[in-house]
Every structure is written in C-alpha cells, then in structure tokens.
Amino acid sequence: MGAFHAMLSGIAQRITARFPDNSAVALAHYRSFKKVAFFDLAIIVDGVVADREQTIRRQQEAIRELSTPTLQVRERLLILPIIGLLDSHRAKQLTDTLLQAIRAHCAKVVVVDMTGVSTVDSKVANHLIQTVEAARLMGATAIITGLSADVAQSLVTLGVDLSRLNTMGDLQGGIEKAEQLLGYAERNTERARHLAD
Amino acid sequence: MSVPILKQGDVLIASVQAALTDHDLLHLKDEQANKVGYFRTRGVIIDVTALDVMDSFATRTLRNLAAMTHLRGAETIIVGIQPDVAVSLVQLGLRLEGVATALDLEEGLAWLAQPREA
C-alpha cells in the first residue's frame, strides 16, 4: 500500500512537471490515470480476499469433517467420539452424521463418547436429547458415555431432564452395555478376571 | 392412494408407498384394526421407508393404531423412518412414545420374532 502511494505521488510530480503552466490539464491527466490505477488496486484486493476466503472455507470444511468421525467397532455397534467445543451448529451436524451412519451401517447401538467435551450448555443438552430420540425412531439405542463431573454438575444445575438418556460412566462401560444389548456374552470380563489372576 | 396390507405368516405388513392424505391414514387404521382380529395376527409392521414427510396427524394416527393393535393382542413396530423424518419429528416434539421402532423391515421381523414376556 505504501509503495503504491509512493508510486502515485511520483507520477503526480512527473505529470505536473510536464505541464508546468497548465495545472488544470495536469490535474485531468492525473485523475484519469488515478482511475485506472485504483481499478487495478481493486482487482488485486478482490483476488487476495477471494483466495483467502476460499482457503478458510476449505479449512473449515476439513475441520468439520474431522470433528465427528463415526467408528464401527463391531457389527451393528458404532462409536461417535466427540472432542472439543460443542456449539449448536456442530450439534446439528452431529445429529445428521449419527443418523446417516445408523442408516449406512445398519447400527443397532450407538455409543456417543463425550469425554473430550468440557462444557455443555442447555441448548446443546437439548439437542443431545433430540438426537437420542431421533436415533430411537430409527430403531437404534444411543448410549452417552464419559460425561465429566463438571458437565454432569452443570447439566443438573441447569435443570435439564436427562432421565430419558442412557448414560454410562466411561467408554468401556458404554461398550460393555452395548455388547449386552447386542447379545454378546460377557466373556471379556471373564477373560479379564483370568488375566488378573 | 390406499396402503396395501400384506400378510406374512402371523404378521401383517403395511407398506406405505407414497405420501398419505389424512383420509388414507384413517382408512389404513380402520382396515388394520379389522384385519388384526380377522387373521389372529401377532404382530403388525408399518413400513414408512418411502415417506419423506410425516406430520403430527400421521404420527398421532400411527400411535393410536399401535395402541389399538395392542388392545387386540398384537404388537406394532414402525420401521424405516428416514433420518430427516426422525429429526423433524423430534423437533416437532412428536416422540412416538410407546411405539417400537426399527431400522428396516428385516429388523422389524426379527424384533417380532423375539420371544418376550407378556
């Protein structure tokens, strides 16, 4: 910008030098030149801004895709780990991802792991309940796991009715419960006991 | 357009093919109620895979249908609710309480085949 300004003033000096006795003509020349120069400048700025916006959009898209993966751990059992801040936009996207994944994988149980979520407000909590209900309408059971002490406390303080939710302490508990629902025998705990001996 | 009701063993399958008017829904309810008694049906499956819109009236009618079928000694399961429909139903506060749901027809049949305490 500074260089551009310096160039313009240099040109203005030269124009006034060429028309020393007729400043009105010099001014007219300078004006028409300035119009072209600013037009150029506008095109450059537009290009830079558009390029930057495109980069930002691409990165946002990438973040969005990264933020809600769905993992299939067993036949008909999905895990949905949520990490980071849950805002209402992301919560909506979570619902969409979850429901599409249920359809795509014919899932019967979905474990939503919220270990990586540090705060939940009432709006997001409501959305979570709606997601669980929608999953039920599609014939799948949703289990919420890993609600941290802070989140649990704030939800109870907010007075959000979470009695309809199926919650477990940690991801392991959630998966064990899901296996129970899917009818897997509890052989893992047997083996764990055996290994511990 | 009326909904065809198919009989498969002791299960009745109502397969909804297109968007239904309120009149069609009521007709479905009446017909289902009659057939459940007539065929001594054990289970009723309502397949809504083809529906991309479900309003409050449809939801209420289906819930009534399920309650009615229960009174006549059979169980009802609604299968194939699309993701978008599920979201909009929940957002409208229509939770289909007391009605079983499953992902698709196969799931529904498997659910009805499970033995369960009365």
Same domain, A49 and A111: no
Distances, alpha carbon B100 to alpha carbons A139, B25, B52, in Å:
8, 19, 19
A91-96: long-range pairs with CB below 8 Å, 24+: A91/A123, A91/A124, A91/A127, A91/A128, A91/A131, A92/A127, A93/A64, A93/A67, A93/A68, A94/A68, A94/A127, A94/A131, A95/A127, A95/A130, A95/A131, A95/A134, A95/B87, A96/B83, A96/B87
Q: With helix as H, strand as E and coil as C, how does B60-109 read?
A: HHHHHHHHHHHHCCCEEEEECCCHHHHHHHHHCCCCCCCCEEECCHHHHH
Give the range of the structural domain holding residue A102, as residue numbers without chain letter. Answer: 68-197
Q: Does B87 touch chain A (CB under 8 A)?
A: yes
Under 8 Å CB pairs connecting chains A and B tally to 51
pLDDT computed for residue A120 by the predictor: 84
Same domain, A88 and A176: yes
Whole-number Å distance between alpha carbons of A71 and A80: 6
Report CB contact under 8 Å: B81, A96.
Answer: no
Same domain, A153 and A187: yes
More confident call, B73 vs B109:
B109
Instruction: pLDDT band for A43, please (50, 70, 90 cuts).
Output: very high
pLDDT computed for residue A127 by the predictor: 87
Same domain, A124 and A177: yes
Q: Does B83 touch chain A (CB under 8 A)?
A: yes
pLDDT computed for residue A188 by the predictor: 57
Report CB contact under 8 Å: A140, B95.
Answer: no
Instruction: For chain A, give the percent of residues with pLDDT over 70.
Output: 92
Same domain, A1 and A23: yes
Instruction: For chain B, give the percent of residues with pLDDT over 90.
Output: 18
For A29-39, how does the pLDDT look when each residue is reduced to its tens digit (9 = 90+)? 888 888 888 89
Same domain, A103 and A170: yes
- Name residue, tokens 């289906």: B62
Same domain, A78 and A58: no
Q: Is pTM, for the whole model, over 0.80?
A: no
Q: What is the interface pTM, i.e. ipTM, of the complex? A: 0.71
Element (H, E) at B47: strand B43-47
Bridge partners, B78 (sequence order): B46, B101
Please, what are the domains in chain B?
Answer: 5-111 (3.30.750.24)
The domain boundary, picked from A51, A66, A81, lies at A66
